[in-house]
Amino acid sequence: MMSEHMPRYPEPFWRKESETTEYPALTDNTDCDVAVVGGGIAGITTAYLLQKEGKNVVLIDAGKLINGTTGHTTAKITSQHGLFYDELINHFGKEKARHYYDANQEGLEFIEELVNELSIDCDFSHEDAFVFTQDPDEIFKIKKEDEAYQQLDINGGLIDEKTLPFYTRAAIVMRDQAQFHPVKYLNALTDAFIKAGGTVYENTTASDVKTGDRPAVITREGHEITCDHVVAASHFPFYDGMGFYFARMHAERSYSLAVKTSKPITSGMYINAEDPKRSIRCTPAEDGYLMIIGGEKHKTGQGIDTSKHYDALAAYSREMFPDAEILYRWATHDLITMDKLPYIGHITERHKNIFVATGFHKWGMTNGTIAAKIIRDGILEKENTYRELFTPHRMKADPGIKEFVKENANVAKYFVKGKAEMVRRKPEDLASDEGGVVTVKGKRAGAYKDPDGLLHAVDTTCTHMGCECEWNDGDRTWDCPCHGSRFNVQGEVIEGPADKPLRKLDLE
Ligand code: FES
**Does 501 lie in the same domain as 422?**
yes
Give tens-digit pLDDT for 406-440. Answer: 555 555 555 455 555 556 788 888 888 888 888 88
Give the residue from 394, 420, 437 where a domain finishes: 394
**Does 505 lie in the same domain as 407?**
yes
Is 126 contained in some domain? no
**Does 196 lie in the same domain as 63?**
yes
Is 123 contained in some domain? no
pLDDT of amino acid 298: 78
Backbone angles phi and psi of 473, in degrees to 5: -65, -35
**Does 402 lie in the same domain as 506?**
yes
**pLDDT category of residue 492 using cuts at 50, 70 and 90:** very high
- What is the distance in A from the centroid of ligand 1 to the CA of 467? 6
**pLDDT category of residue 344 using cuts at 50, 70 and 90:** very high
Is 308 contained in some domain? no
pLDDT of amino acid 295: 92
**Does 488 lie in the same domain as 467?**
yes
Pairing assessment for the beta strands 170-179 and 216-219 based on DSSP bridges = unpaired
CATH code (residue 187) = 3.50.50.60
Position with higher pLDDT, 346 vs 507: 346
CATH code (residue 420) = 2.102.10.10
**Does 449 lie in the same domain as 375?**
no
Ligand 1 atom at shortest distance from the alpha carbon of 466: 4
pLDDT of amino acid 396: 47
Is 461 contained in some domain? yes
Mutate which of 234, 248, 464 for ligand 1 pocket (most atoms within 8 A of beta carbon):
464
Is 3 contained in some domain? no
Backbone angles phi and psi of 438, in degrees to 5: -135, 180
Is 221 contained in some domain? yes
Give tens-digit pLDDT for 85-96. Answer: 999 999 999 999
**Does 446 lie in the same domain as 360?**
no
Indicate whether 383 pLDDT > 80.
yes
Give tens-digit pLDDT for 34-44. Answer: 999 999 999 99
pLDDT of amino acid 120: 97
Asked if the bond preceding 497 is cis, omega within 30° of 0, the reply is yes
Position with higher pLDDT, 404 vs 344: 344
For residue 208, count CB atoms less than 10 angstroms from its CB and return exposed for 0-12, middle for 13-18, buried for 19 or more. Answer: middle
C-alpha 463/C-alpha 496 separation (Å) is 10
Least-confidence region, from 8-17, 109-118, 404-413? 404-413
Query: What is the 3 state secondary structure string of 45-65?
Result: HHHHHHHHCCCCEEEECCCCC
**Does 503 lie in the same domain as 420?**
yes
For residue 373, count CB atoms less than 10 angstroms from its CB and return exposed for 0-12, middle for 13-18, buried for 19 or more. Answer: buried
Average of per-residue pLDDT across 109-122: 98
**Does 354 lie in the same domain as 411?**
no
Give tens-digit pLDDT for 130-140. Answer: 999 999 999 99
Indicate whether 321 pLDDT > 60.
yes
**Does 441 lie in the same domain as 379?**
no
Q: Domain range for residue 466?
A: 396-508
Is 55 contained in some domain? yes
Mutate which of 483, 487, 499, 502 for ligand 1 pocket (most atoms within 8 A of beta carbon):
483
**Does 500 lie in the same domain as 404?**
yes
**Does 501 lie in the same domain as 484?**
yes
Least-confidence region, from 153-157, 169-173, 460-464? 460-464
Give tens-digit pLDDT for 199-246. Answer: 999 999 999 999 999 999 999 999 999 999 999 999 889 998 888 888
Q: Could you give the angle at the alpha carbon of 255 between the alpha carbons of 250 and 256, nearest 5°?
A: 140
Indicate whether 1 pLDDT > 80.
no
Residue with CA closest to ligand 1 atom 4: 465
Element (H, E) at 146: helix 139-152
45-49, 448-452, 459-463 — most confident range: 45-49
Is 178 contained in some domain? no
Query: Which protein residues are within 6 Å of ligand 1, measured from CB?
Result: 246, 462, 464-467, 480, 482-485, 497-498
Query: What is 209-243 written as a DSSP string?
Result: EE-SSS-EEEETTS-EEE-SEEEE-SSS-S--TT-
Q: Could you give the angle at the alpha carbon of 43 between the alpha carbons of 37 and 47, nearest 5°?
A: 95
**Counted domains in the chain:** 2
